[in-house]
Amino acid sequence: MNILMALSQLEVTGAEVYATTLGDELTARGHQVWYVSDTLTRQVKGAFIPLAFNKRSIPRRLWHVARLVWLIRKYKIQLVHAHSRASGWSCRVACWLTKTPMVTTVHGRQPTHGSRRWFWAFGARAIAVCEAVRDQLVDVLGVPADQVVVIRNGIDPAAFPVNEVRLKRQAGRPRIAIVGRLTGPKGELCHRLLSDVLDLSAVDVRVVTGSALPPAFKNFSDRVAFVEDQSAVAEEIAQADLVIGAGRVAVEALFTGTPVFAVGETRHIGLVSIEKLEAAMASNFGDVGGHELAMDFQQIKQELSSLLSGPDALPPVSTELRGRVLKAYGLESVATRVEEVYQDAVVETLRREIPILMYHRLVEHPSEQGVHGTWTTVQMFEKHLRLIQRMGFETLTFTDFQDKGFMHRFSPGRKYLMITADDGYQDNLTRMLPLLKKYNMKATVYVVSGETHNRWDVEHPTDPDVRVPLLSADEIRALDASGHVEIGGHTLSHAKLDELDAKSQAKEIRENKRALEGILGHPMLSFAYPFGYLNASAKTQAQEAGYAYAVATDSGPRAMHQDRFQIRRIAVFPRTDVFGLWRKIRGDYVFRR
């Protein structure tokens, strides 16, 4: 995807570190990322475009919107990800004008003035970095709960490795690291810690900041080391006996195994432990609360004095505590969850999803048609393929998604579609495959393995259908070897899974999978529920059988990534002519039904 990250800042902030860390990970995954902000202090893999969001007069804001519209169109931006209030307003208007999907990561408590209540400016989704932010958005600002998702700060473990041998204290003085800007609420908090809490003669304090040293801090310069180098953050954290801070800094320290005394802008947590971790995470380690709290700095002083009074350095973070923090904040999993939110925003904003077509068998003569409507003429199928080709679609199978992820369907400048065929009729080899080859397209064929013909239709109690042969083992191998067809499972007997108990469901699904994989000599990725009939147990059995995906018919979420085991498809009937198929593959068909 082509993604625009938007920030408003005049100095380095946690939001910038979040956005650039996430952006570089997305770039490594194949996305194109641009950054727009007042300033950008970190080097990034994408292009940086200056835009003075902090100049907020009405003429300036109109200029911001115009500039953003131009950038969105010039770079074919598919999604805007905002990270601040100032940039969010302008981005929301620009995205509305250009019909561009937008999400916002909300890093802290939001103002509650009237305009914020009626114009959220968050886009299709608000990503809250902790539960306290989410609760304020929902409970105070009235953002619908289903539009807010908690995804924590993504931090690369490789950038903050465990310091196995922590430095010894020099002359018995514990080494304390405080990281962050020295302006605003964080600057005020740092000043209180230095002036009222810490005994600067008894501890070795190092303040790592991207801010120029404000006058109020200069009287500490003979007792505190101010490190004005953001690139030194990881090293200073790893070498400290204790980190005092909140937000990303607290998590980065825990990654390295450095103990954290969590004190943020709204509350103090104290020494982070397993018992306190959940509450610490919910408030972003003290940075966000329900409201501003008057902290008891005398209590903070007593707690820190007790922690630092021993002769040895504080013990490192436990393996269990670090493991839980890694699981919650690890960059790879965070980026994957953000990609899911991006997909939500794109599908819901544009009301489009890639079409997944469901065919069955191809017929040449009227005598082959039968009564159940599970056929398409060979002539009409070729017309369908011509239309698909003229409209510029490329065909995908689940192998493509397994290799590249669901985000692959939003590759810029590309149009994708999936062709599937149920049951595994012999004509899928003799009639469908030659046309797939002719038009250089791919399809997924779902095969029933325990029958030789369509017995479920032939033995229908009221409307018996014509008998049609199914694929043999050699024919299944020939389809698979063609390079144009992916084989999937479809049960042993074309059973109505919703009518079976879990044990019978498992037998139908697993034995079918075992038989087909024995024929193919390799694993299969996807499964199709016969008749589209399923229940929660059937979905569980498909997953436990080892499938990565399962397709339904006209049930399941409209966005395919939201449930990998109930992916919605679009049925093609005998009456689906070229115009009918055009309506079904424009992209918004499942939203219009």
State the Cα–Cα distance between residues 288 and 186, nearest whole angstrom. Answer: 12
- Domain identity same for 104 and 201: no
- Domain identity same for 173 and 146: no
- Domain identity same for 431 and 550: yes
Is 333 within the bounds of a domain? no
Q: What is the pLDDT of residue 116?
A: 55
Inter-residue contact 559 to 347 (CB < 8 Å): yes
Q: What is the CA radius of gyration of the chain?
A: 29
Structural domain of residue 48, as residue ranges?
A: 2-154
| Helices 502-520 and 536-544, axial angle in degrees (round to 10) | 40
- How many other β-carbons are positioned within 10 Å of the β-carbon of residue 119? 11
- Domain identity same for 25 and 139: yes
Taking the model in full, what pTM does it have? 0.90
Q: What 8-state DSSP symbol labels residue 196?
A: I
Q: What is the pLDDT of residue 474?
A: 98
Q: What is the pLDDT of residue 311?
A: 55
Inter-residue contact 439 to 415 (CB < 8 Å): no
- Domain identity same for 302 and 192: yes
Token pair recorded at residue 577: 């002519």
The structure tokens 């011509």 sit at 386
Token pair recorded at residue 474: 């050699």
- Domain identity same for 506 and 575: yes
Q: What is the mean pLDDT of each run of 10 residues along the chain (593 residues)?
A: 93 86 96 95 93 89 95 97 90 96 92 62 94 92 94 93 66 83 88 93 90 88 88 89 92 94 90 94 88 78 86 76 95 96 96 96 93 94 98 97 92 96 97 98 98 94 93 98 98 97 98 98 98 97 98 95 97 96 93 80
- Domain identity same for 369 and 356: yes
Q: Which of 154, 183, 203 is the last residue of a domain?
A: 154
- Domain identity same for 362 and 281: no
Q: Which of 277, 298, 318 is the last residue of a domain?
A: 318
Is 342 within the bounds of a domain? no
Q: What is the pLDDT of residue 473?
A: 98
| Helices 319-329 and 331-350, axial angle in degrees (round to 10) | 20
Q: Which of 318, 338, 366 is the last residue of a domain?
A: 318
Torsion of CA 525, 531, 533, 537, to 10 degrees: -40
The CATH number of residue 552's host domain is 3.20.20.370
Is 581 within the bounds of a domain? yes
State the Cα–Cα distance between residues 503 and 327, nearest whole angstrom. Answer: 34
Is 332 within the bounds of a domain? no
Q: What is the pLDDT of residue 313?
A: 58
Q: Are strands 260-263 and 268-271 parallel, antiparallel or unpaired?
A: antiparallel
> What is the helix (H) or strand (E) element at residue 528, kind and residue range?
strand 526-528
Counting the structural domains of the chain, the total is 3
Is 549 within the bounds of a domain? yes
The structure tokens 């005092």 sit at 244
The CATH number of residue 18's host domain is 3.40.50.2000
Inter-residue contact 452 to 431 (CB < 8 Å): no
Nearest to 154, CA basis, from 337, 342, 331, 326: 331
Is 324 within the bounds of a domain? no
Q: What is the pLDDT of residue 587?
A: 86
Q: Give just the sign of the alpha carbon dihedral 228, 234, 240, 245.
A: positive
- Domain identity same for 483 and 363: yes
Inter-residue contact 160 to 237 (CB < 8 Å): yes
- Domain identity same for 451 and 562: yes
Is 551 within the bounds of a domain? yes
- Domain identity same for 105 and 17: yes
- Domain identity same for 477 and 573: yes
Is 272 within the bounds of a domain? yes
